[in-house]
Amino acid sequence: MHVHSKLAVVGAAVSLWFQPGAAQTCANVSTTQTYDYIIVGSGAGGIPIADRLSEAGHSVLLIEKGPPSTGRWGGTMKPKWLADTNLTRFDVPGLCNQIWADPSGVSCTDVDQMAGCVLGGGTAVNAGLWWKPHPDDWDTNFPTGWQSKDLAGATEKVFSRIPGTTAPSMDGKRYLSQGFDMLGGNLGKAGWKFIVPNDNPQLKNRTYGHSTFMYSGGERGGPLATYLVSASSRKTFTLWTNTVAKRVVRTGGHITGVELECNGAGHAGVVSVTPTTGRVILSAGVFGSTKLLFRSGIGPTDQLNIVKNSADGPTMIGNDSWINLPVGYNLNDHVGTDIEIAHPDVVFYDYYGAWTKPIVSDTETYLTNRTGPLAQAAPNIGPIFWEIIKGADGVLRHLHWQSRVEGTLNTSMTVTQYLGTGSVSRGRLTITRQLNTVVSTPPYLHDENDKAAVVQGLINLQESLASVANLTWITPRSNVTAAQFVNSVPATPSRRGSNHWIGTAKIGADDGRTGGKSVVDLNLKVYGTDNLFVVDASIFPGMITANPSAAIVIVSEHAATKILALPPAAA
């Protein structure tokens, strides 16, 4: 593979990125070569399809705006105790929550939500939770060709490469299982059924299990450790990190390349696709792909006029070539509702402290054997449990409850209820004149049946735990009803947000240019273009049950098959 040497291999240029306040430098990349596929963004969507397309013999360029993350790719960010190793903060499961303690140089700075802008995107910074989807996740919202039966092959492929584990420590033990034992044990007594989640993805009603992670070998694993490794072994694959795509360059609906952006000095250029047959794939995530589409003159006229009035204005594509599509609409996220319970058996482990003042014996067992608490995700996540609630509208709504040992007491657990599949809440993502993407309409609880499911799920949990000795409800308190509590939590991203954004470039047969709601067709090609595709969380038409990264990787696998089967576009 070609990694741009100055940026990805030599530390000097990379470290510029971490200097507070330093403007991003422009990648010193050659724009003379052309590529069959240019993919923008190296997250859950971008990496797998880059691998599949290069495997098929095509020349592929993967452009990532952020720096390298895990050690394998030249990442450098780490606490002192990792100094003599080839690991970074991104490799160690127990350090995954460092993004909340210190997001600088890691989180995206042009977005009003938390998102990872490093190599691997969300898959480099997330908690690694990894779920085989429930059939309803596809069948409730996805169109023809994207039903659970159609996705079975892609699912099998993804889980053969990244099987996931419920016991990430290399000795197969689960450390600090008191939270799981207390809460899981009591759910079991109340009739909830214990399952191995990814062996039984279809059993999501009153079931519980251990958290399942994409981790392998006691390290992060996932797409960065699998798909990107095989892609990089091919001469036809090129990776540019620290390189920002500004927009696609197009003549009408035919894309000829991708324009790169520099802040200040440096050389901005256009990297071109193979004439006539080349294609561009946007995998920049919900925020990044929406922004790239707007800057490329694709989206609702009000948003394109904002871009027209920004610094981009003088060089933006003319309005006679704008493609009017509902980009940014249909934004969704899991509706998150946090409750907090305490029980004397629960034991807190200070994962945040593991950065500066780790328990030395725990770093030793981790470094020597990849065992112990640091081989597990902060902040000790589990149990996970599920319920399906039928609404007054007849819709089945999926609840996914995610527990963590973290709260106001060292004996407390915060348990987040995610409302997923079946929820009908809708939001909107827009752009500002400074070219930041913002959640202008939060997607949470616009629908009464959504709210009823959230309330009913909480009541059912309260009933299931009603007779547990020594269990204290901290939130909601016992003098507050479930409905009062749910109504009291504002429907804002800061109080409800789950970082599971989807939906702003929805897939569907209903062409958004002519009154439909979809931005991409059933091959994920942007309507009105010959050769521009979106392959990331943006294309999801509706919410799914659980944390979405595995489902996004499955979409990417399936998209590769669809795109490879398309005849070359005519110019």
Ligand X SMILES: Cc1cc2nc3c(=O)[nH]c(=O)nc-3n(C[C@H](O)[C@H](O)[C@H](O)COP(=O)(O)OP(=O)(O)OC[C@H]3O[C@@H](n4cnc5c(N)ncnc54)[C@H](O)[C@@H]3O)c2cc1C
Q: Identify whether the C-beta of residue 294 lies closer than 8 Å to the C-beta of residue 322.
A: no
Helices (H), 162-284: 178-189, 227-232
The entry of ligand NAG, ligand X, none near residue 71 (CB within 5 to 8 angstroms by kind) is ligand NAG
What residues between 514 and 543 interact with ligand X by CB under 6 A? 536-537
Kindly tell me which of 469 and 570 has the beta carbon lying closer to ligand NAG.
469
Instruction: Provide the minimum distance between the beta carbon of 471 and ligand NAG in the complex, in angstroms, as a whole number.
Output: 9
Kindly tell me which of 225 and 455 has the beta carbon lying closer to ligand X.
225
* Contact between 175 and ligand NAG per CB under 6 A: no
- Count other Cβ atoms within 10 Å, centred on residue 160: 8
Specify the stretch interacting with ligand NAG by CB under 6 A; choose among 19-27, 148-156, 473-481, 557-565: 473-481
What residues between 274 and 333 interact with ligand X by CB under 6 A? 283-285, 288, 292
Tokens of 519: 């931005």
Question: Nearest CA to 47 among 557, 568, 421?
Answer: 557
Interface characters, 102-121, with ligand X (x: CB under 6 A): ------------xxxx---x
One residue of 347, 396, 424, 564 binding ligand NAG per CB under 6 A: 396
Tokens of 266: 């440096």
Question: Nearest CA to 274 among 40, 34, 59?
Answer: 34
Tokens of 505: 């470039």
Three-state DSSP class for 10?
A: coil
Specify the stretch interacting with ligand X by CB under 6 A; choose among 30-38, 357-365, 382-390, 544-552: 544-552
- Count other Cβ atoms within 10 Å, centred on residue 189: 12
- Count other Cβ atoms within 10 Å, centred on residue 393: 13
What residues between 83 and 122 interact with ligand NAG by CB under 6 A? 86
What residues between 314 and 333 interact with ligand NAG by CB under 6 A? 319
The entry of ligand NAG, ligand X, none near residue 455 (CB within 5 to 8 angstroms by kind) is none
Q: Identify whether the C-beta of residue 283 lies closer than 8 Å to the C-beta of residue 535.
A: yes
Q: Identify whether the C-beta of residue 538 lies closer than 8 Å to the C-beta of residue 290.
A: yes
Q: Identify whether the C-beta of residue 405 lies closer than 8 Å to the C-beta of residue 380.
A: yes
Interface characters, 172-201, with ligand X (x: CB under 6 A): ------------------------------
Instruction: Quickly tell me which residue has 């250029």 as its tokens.
Output: 269
Instruction: Provide the minimum distance between the beta carbon of 200 and ligand X in the complex, in angstroms, as a whole number.
Output: 18
* Contact between 28 and ligand NAG per CB under 6 A: yes
In whole angstroms, give the CA distance from residue 174 to residue 168. Answer: 8
Q: Which DSSP helix (H) or strand (E) runs through 414?
A: strand 412-419
Write down the catalytic residue from 4, 210, 334, 500.
Answer: 500
Residue ranges of the binding site: 118
One residue of 338, 340, 350, 511 binding ligand NAG per CB under 6 A: 350
* Contact between 205 and ligand NAG per CB under 6 A: yes
One residue of 14, 38, 45, 379 binding ligand X per CB under 6 A: 45
Specify the stretch interacting with ligand NAG by CB under 6 A; choose among 76-84, 110-118, 360-368, 528-536: 360-368
Q: Identify whether the C-beta of residue 374 lies closer than 8 Å to the C-beta of residue 362.
A: yes
Interface characters, 115-154, with ligand X (x: CB under 6 A): xxx---xxx-xxxxx-------------------------
Active site residue 267: no
What residues between 219 and 238 interact with ligand X by CB under 6 A? none
In whole angstroms, give the CA distance from residue 480 to residue 451. Answer: 17
Question: Nearest CA to 371 among 87, 126, 93, 97?
Answer: 93
**Cis (ω within 30 of 0) for the bond into 379?**
yes
The entry of ligand NAG, ligand X, none near residue 542 (CB within 5 to 8 angstroms by kind) is none
Instruction: Provide the minimum distance between the beta carbon of 469 and ligand NAG in the complex, in angstroms, as a whole number.
Output: 4
Pairing of strands 472-475, 335-342: antiparallel
Tokens of 313: 């204005």
What residues between 15 and 44 interact with ligand X by CB under 6 A? 40-44
Instruction: Provide the minimum distance between the beta carbon of 245 and ligand NAG in the complex, in angstroms, as a whole number.
Output: 19
Kindly tell me which of 390 and 433 has the beta carbon lying closer to ligand NAG.
390
In whole angstroms, give the CA distance from residue 527 to residue 511. Answer: 7
Q: Which DSSP helix (H) or strand (E) runs through 117?
A: none
Helix axes 549-565, 148-161, angle to 10 degrees: 110
Tokens of 406: 């973290």
**By the criterion CB under 6 A, which residues form the site for ligand NAG?**
6, 28, 71-72, 86, 205-206, 319, 348, 350, 364-365, 368-369, 388, 390, 396, 410, 469-470, 477, 479-480
**By the criterion CB under 6 A, which residues form the site for ligand X?**
40-46, 63-66, 99, 114-117, 121-123, 125-129, 244-245, 283-285, 288, 292, 499-500, 536-537, 547-549, 552
